[in-house]
Structure 1
Amino acid sequence: MKFQLKNILAVMALAIAFTSCSDDDDNKITGEGSIKLEFDNVYGDADFAFNTAYTNSNGEVIKATKVKYIVSNIVLTKTDGSTYTVPKSDSYFIIDEGTATSTLLELPNIPAANYKSISFGIGVDQEQFNLGATGQGDFLTTAQNAGMMWSWSAGYKFVAFEGTFTSSTVTTDTSYMVHTGQTGTSYNYNTINIDFPENAMVRTTITPQVHIMADVKHIIDGTNKISLTSNNMGGMGAMIMGGANLPLITANLSNMFEVHHVHND
């Protein structure tokens, strides 16, 4: 019995020593590095591609010609629960399926640490918008050039999802346009929170790449099912840019993103 007890105590001592050593190693992480965020658009279980037919839950066949969304206010959470917030002036991006370089963001000057999750906004937060046109910096011009503004008074488009569709009652290709953003008293900004399946190990010598899957199906075919056919306005097509559908679409975005994997090399 004494021999067994000694063995148990020895194992416990080794475990404590190993944990302490690991904690010491974590505490010794210093310096800064970079992290890459890769946004990979998919449609359900399929890779996303323009002008490819996808059938939604309403039996509508859609072909997308535009997928753009604004990513903002990136915050990284460390394994100890503390956070690093990317400076606001460097934290507004437009992810554009039509521009491959826009889908890979590299964030510099990140404190070296082990990170377990990320949060980011979809759209431009109201605090930033309230700074006025002169307070937007270069991003205002970027958004205008990308077609992600209605007008300054109307504000930014947070998501632009466009293409054509058919259904059992709409038998010829008919255009649709889904734009989210501020409408009336509803701002429709959304914050996304995602855990990493493994830690992102930012080091001076390691730049992790976080592979974020963005399922564009969720825009109108998530928890809330939005019918393009019901929003068809005849010659103008289906135009969803306000009304009761917009907060439903904003809610859908909460489940649009997940981290598939993290490369630590």
Structure 2
Amino acid sequence: MKNILYKALAVLALSTTFTACSNDEETISGTGTLALEFDNSFNGNDLILETQTNTTASNEVLKITSIKYIISNIVLTKEDGTTYTYPKSESYFIVDEATAASHVIDLLNVPAANYTKVTFGVGVDKDQWSAGADGQGDFLATAQTAGMMWSWSAGYKFVAFEGTFTSSTVTTAVPFKVHTGQTGTDYNYTTVSLDLQTKALVRTTVTPQIHIITDLSKVLNSTNVIKLSDNNASGTGANIMGGTNLPLITQNVSTMFSVDHVHND
């Protein structure tokens, strides 16, 4: 009888220990850092500036010399469906392929939680621009230095995609520039939401990194098909910075991001 009682007490003690450990593991508190890594590619190939030949779905061959874009207004969704909005005043970043340090955006003081989705804007939202030059904080100078402004009255460049191209009708390489941003009545800001197949576990001691692939082939070939050669009327190059093509390109831009994986290290 005593042996049975001792065994019962032992099982109860062990069960209590496991429950305590389980409760400890479920207590998530404090803040941590979450990193967003933007990895530029072209149709499945890692992007190499200047020398790499990139063939579009329209059989135009591009050599990309520069790609920059603004990431803004980051919102993280927790596994319970609630969201954390990164402070707006700190939520504007420029990703520049030529500057390796800009490829990883560190979000600081993020509440510890299990996150299942990331949402962000491409460009600077109209409310922020409407705050005037004095309302932009340090980002205005950052954008000017990076060449991501047309002028204050014209506003920010949201995406600046540049290089040279050839096609069946353009046999000698000519320049191209695709710049999105405010044009006429079209503001051309877009929002992207990406589900995470692996939860990003933000902890005081764990800094997850969400690896996002940016497929630049989709700038011209995605929801809409845009041919650079159709915009080379003068024969000196294709400059798409306004007109009817720009809203179509903005729709394409919203499709060019995907999550490759999440590191929880």
TM-superposed deviation, 1:254? 1.8
Q: Secondary structure at the match of 1:217?
A: helix
CA distance in 2, matches of 1:193, 1:22: 32
CA distance in 2, matches of 1:212, 1:134: 32
Aligned equivalent of 2:90: 90
Aligned equivalent of 2:186: 186
Q: Secondary structure at the match of 1:221?
A: coil
User: Does the 8 Å CA contact 1:34/1:109 hold for their aligned counterparts?
Assistant: yes
Aligned equivalent of 1:40: 39
Aligned equivalent of 2:118: 118
Aligned equivalent of 2:13: none
CA distance in 2, matches of 1:38, 1:141: 23
Q: Secondary structure at the match of 1:102?
A: helix
Aligned equivalent of 1:11: none
1:92-113 deviation line (CA, Å, top 9, x unaligned): 0000000000001111100000
1:29-53 deviation line (CA, Å, top 9, x unaligned): 0000000110000101111111211
User: Does the 8 Å CA contact 1:72/1:93 hold for their aligned counterparts?
Assistant: yes
Partner AA of 2:106 in structure 1? E
TM-superposed deviation, 1:70? 0.2
Between the two proteins, what is the percent identity of the paired residues? 61
Structure 1 stretches lacking a partner, 5+ long: 1-17
TM-superposed deviation, 1:223? 1.9
Q: Secondary structure at the match of 1:128?
A: helix
Aligned equivalent of 2:66: 66
Structure 1 stretches (4+) deviating beyond 3 angstroms?
21-26
TM-superposed deviation, 1:221? 1.5
Partner AA of 1:31 in structure 2? G
CA distance in 2, matches of 1:67, 1:223: 20
Q: Secondary structure at the match of 1:251?
A: helix
TM-score, normalised to structure 2, is 0.90
CA distance in 2, matches of 1:23, 1:248: 51
User: Does the 8 Å CA contact 1:233/1:239 hold for their aligned counterparts?
Assistant: no
> How has the CA–CA distance of structure 1 residues 85 and 22 changed in structure 2, closer, same or farther, with 3 Å as cutoff?
farther
> Please, which moves more after superposition, 44-53 or 34-43?
44-53
Partner AA of 2:141 in structure 1? T
Q: Secondary structure at the match of 2:169?
A: coil
1:120-160 deviation line (CA, Å, top 9, x unaligned): 00000000000000100000000000000000000000000
Aligned equivalent of 1:55: 55
> Please, which moves more after superposition, 109-118 or 221-230?
221-230
> How has the CA–CA distance of structure 1 residues 171 and 87 changed in structure 2, closer, same or farther, with 3 Å as cutoff?
same
> How has the CA–CA distance of structure 1 residues 25 and 137 changed in structure 2, closer, same or farther, with 3 Å as cutoff?
same
Partner AA of 1:123 in structure 2? G
Tell me whether 1:262 sits opposite 2:262 in the alignment. yes
Aligned equivalent of 2:162: 162
TM-superposed deviation, 1:236? 3.9
Q: How many aligned positions are there?
A: 247
Q: Secondary structure at the match of 1:239?
A: strand
TM-superposed deviation, 1:170? 0.7
CA distance in 2, matches of 1:185, 1:225: 22
Structure 2 stretches lacking a partner, 5+ long: 1-17
* Cα RMSD after superposing both structures: 1.7
CA distance in 2, matches of 1:33, 1:55: 41
Partner AA of 2:44 in structure 1? D
TM-superposed deviation, 1:188? 0.4
CA distance in 1, matches of 2:234, 2:22: 65
CA distance in 2, matches of 1:54, 1:103: 21
User: Does the 8 Å CA contact 1:197/1:260 hold for their aligned counterparts?
Assistant: no
TM-superposed deviation, 1:233? 3.4
TM alignment of 1:203-218, pairs within 5 A: 203-218=203-218
CA distance in 1, matches of 2:36, 2:56: 28
TM-score, normalised to structure 1, is 0.90
CA distance in 2, matches of 1:49, 1:179: 20
